[in-house]
Amino acid sequence: MDMKTSPLALLNDATLLKTDALIDGEWLKGPARFDVHDPATGQKLADVANLGPKEAEQAIAAANAAWPAWRLKTGKERSILLRRWFDLLMANQEDLGRLMTAEQGKPFPEAKGEVAYGASFVEWFAEEAKRVNGETLPQFDNNRRLMVIRQPIGVCAAITPWNFPLAMITRKVAPALAAGCPVVIKPAELTPLTALAAAELAVRAGIPPGVLNVLTADGPNSIAVGKVFCASDTVRHISFTGSTEVGRILMAQSAPTIKKLSLELGGNAPFIVFDDADIDSAVEGAIASKYRNAGQTCVCANRIYVQDGVYDAFVEKFSAKVKGMKVGNGFEDGVVQGPLIEPAALDKVQRHVEDAKAKGGKVVVGGAKLQGQFFQPTVISEAKGDMLCAKEETFGPLAPVFRFTTEQEAIDAANNTEFGLASYFYSRDVGRIFRVSEALEYGMVGINVGIIATEHVPFGGVKQSGLGREGSHHGMDEYLEIKYLCLGDVLK
């Protein structure tokens, strides 16, 4: 690695560049290594420990050994340690952002924003750790007392994606630790550096050895490690964020051990603009939702539906904004769209563009790959329901704009997918707002807004977008088991 030209040469704290895996408080070089590259330049950034099934078993054993002492801490004691971790994440926001832009590509300001977003889950669950309350119930016999307690589920495995290298980790690890569970994290092979730096800060915060383990692995070893997690009786909960396809695999692999699963999977978000919408506000919301992280988010607007009466005005205003977007290296001033994560991602966007054009779509802006792993921000008008971009998650900077006439037509089109994560619509008619909100088959609905996620809301989907919720007080439930106590002979 040529540190002279590497973006990581500018880290304020060079010791945050961790490349070994963390198991039981020890940094492990591992039996092999895999390379991590900068998607903007193709430059090698580092090589990282490439662990497999043997080390996965070690990490599970370490977590299980650390669990008794961790669960015996009071919620307040765990809260204090999580708060220290939050403070360290925020104190190192710039370095974590730099690592993230280097390995994932998102613009530096956006990366620093994700650090604050990811840290906010640690802050939130530091507080929730103190609120794991139980219940007392009316007795059915005066000689008994009935109560409900909630206890940590046990060793958790977290498998996370590359698009939010910190937030998708803390959204799982923070509630798990708060609830009293130890965790083994397997971060995406494309973006391990941010995860390892966050783990280093957790160690500095005083999270004990074995409570938080980070197992880095390349693609093939990720599959092998996943199988170990699924087959292990010690691992009681797998929290996965990633594609629906992999979610299905993990669900099937976990069936023999009846594991609790939290699945945050793929999306295909509709973004509906009605005639009565504030068009300028709808354009702003569509830009924010569609092109954040170069369109590589699970809640990006994937299909934009615009009612006939405002279709031309929306396409004109929206396209004018898209034309003005600056694409480039995430460290360059003014860049709002960085590279896509890998060549296959560009191929998928290009495939969706060519398919749309072949089926009558009109390219209004962009439509082509640029140098390297960059793709033009793209708008296609006259999009139709038989196009690939209507049925598949594009996961790139392509905005297909569909025309519709009636409210019911928009609802039916929006719901015509196996996915059900995020959805959006713009209207200022109160009756329509309630009719459409309640008719959309999605876990989340943005109304007159394009960005909806924050740490204290229940984030998650229905249908094949997943199981469970992350964030909010609901996020603790994934890591807690309910136990009913029936106490007899209490008056003797």
Tell me the catalytic residues.
264
Backbone angle region of 31, left / alpha / beta, with phi > 0 → left and psi within -120 to 50 → alpha: alpha
Distance CA 462, CA 279 (A): 29
- Residue 327 contacts which entry, ligand NAD, ligand LB4VBGO6, none (Cβ below 5-8 A, type-dependent): none
- Of ligand LB4VBGO6, ligand NAD, none, which one sits near residue 222, judging by CB under 5 to 8 A according to partner kind? ligand NAD
- Phi, psi (rounded to 5 degrees) for 259: -85, 145
CB nearer to ligand NAD: give 151 or 243: 243
List the single partner that 453 binds among ligand LB4VBGO6, ligand NAD, none, CB under 5 to 8 Å by kind: ligand LB4VBGO6
Q: Is 92 in the site for ligand LB4VBGO6 (CB under 6 A)?
A: no
Nearest to 304 by CA among 284, 290, 292, 288: 290
Binding site for ligand NAD (CB under 6 A): 159-163, 168, 186, 188-189, 222-223, 226, 241-243, 246, 249, 264-267, 298, 393, 395, 421, 466
Query: Please, which residue, 97 or 267, has the CB nearer to ligand NAD?
Result: 267
Q: Write phi, then psi, for 143 (nearest 5 degrees).
A: -95, 10
The Cα–Cα gap between 391 and 372 comes to: 27
The answer to whether residue 120 forms part of the interface with ligand LB4VBGO6 (CB under 6 A) is no
Give the one residue of 85, 124, 162, 164 binding ligand LB4VBGO6; rule: CB under 6 A: 164
Q: How far is the CB of 163 from ligand LB4VBGO6 (least distance, A)?
A: 5
- Enumerate residues 6+ apart whose C-beta is below 8 A from 129: 75, 76, 78, 79, 82, 177, 178, 179
Q: How far is the CB of 457 from ligand LB4VBGO6 (least distance, A)?
A: 10
Per CB under 6 A, 297 contacts ligand LB4VBGO6: yes
Does the protein bind ligand LB4VBGO6 through residue 193 (CB under 6 A)? Answer: no
Q: Find which of ligand LB4VBGO6, ligand NAD, none residue 421 binds, CB within 5 to 8 Å per kind.
A: ligand NAD
Give the whole-angstrom CA distance, residue 329 versus residue 10. Answer: 16
The span from the CA of 478 to the CA of 125, in Å, is: 13
Distances (CA, A) of 59 to 12, 51, 141, 220, 229: 30, 10, 47, 18, 10
User: Which residue sits closest to ligand NAD, CB atoms considered?
Assistant: 226
* Cβ proximity to ligand NAD, 126 vs 214, nearer residue: 214
Tell me how many residues contact ligand LB4VBGO6 (CB under 6 A). 7
Which of 2-21 are b and which e, b meaning 16 or more Cβ less than 10 Å from the residue's Cβ? eeeebbbeebeeeebbbbbb
Span near ligand LB4VBGO6 by CB under 6 A; candidates 95-103, 294-302, 310-318, 342-350: 294-302
Q: How far apart are CA 106 and CA 190, in angstroms?
A: 13
Contact flag: residue 453 with ligand LB4VBGO6 (CB under 6 A): yes
Residues facing residue 363 across a β-bridge:
380
Q: Does 395 bind ligand LB4VBGO6 (CB under 6 A)?
A: no
Residue 90 CA, distance from chain mean position? 19
393 binds, among ligand LB4VBGO6, ligand NAD, none (CB under 5 to 8 A by kind): ligand NAD
Residue 436's Cβ-count burial label (10 Å; 0-12, 13-18, 19+) is buried
Residues of this chain that interact with ligand LB4VBGO6 (CB under 6 A) are: 163-164, 297-299, 453, 459
